[in-house]
Amino acid sequence: MSELSLVILFAIATFVGYKVISQVPSLLHTPLMSGTNALSGVTVLGALSATAAAKAQGVSAAGSVLGCVAIIMAMINVVGGFLVTDRMLRMFKK
């Protein structure tokens, strides 16, 4: 994949993610976050794969930095999902 195709892939993923999340009613955000937290791990794997592919093809340092930022943001999403799930489960304990 060329650097341009990686940027296009990133832009499409960002657009699709925004459209999907913006269509969810606010009452469902927390249950959906906890229910799909395992799927967020796929985002981490995708970011790792894209960063590794960019690194292997000798993409510029900016591509590697963007990949690292994507990995960090995906991990924040996973950790945040676990924290919200834990908080929700504590609400149901006596």
pLDDT of residue 27: 66
pLDDT of residue 64: 81
Nearest C-alpha neighbor of 70 from the set 37, 42, 48: 48
Place of tokens 């994507």: 70
pLDDT digit string, tens, across residues 17-60: 888 878 877 666 666 666 677 677 788 888 888 888 887 887 77
What string of DSSP letters covers 10-22? Answer: HHHHHHHHHHHHH
How far apart (Å, rounded) are the C-alpha atoms in residues 85 and 32? 10
Quote the percentage of the chain above a pLDDT of 90: 5
pLDDT of residue 30: 63
pLDDT of residue 11: 92
pLDDT of residue 34: 64
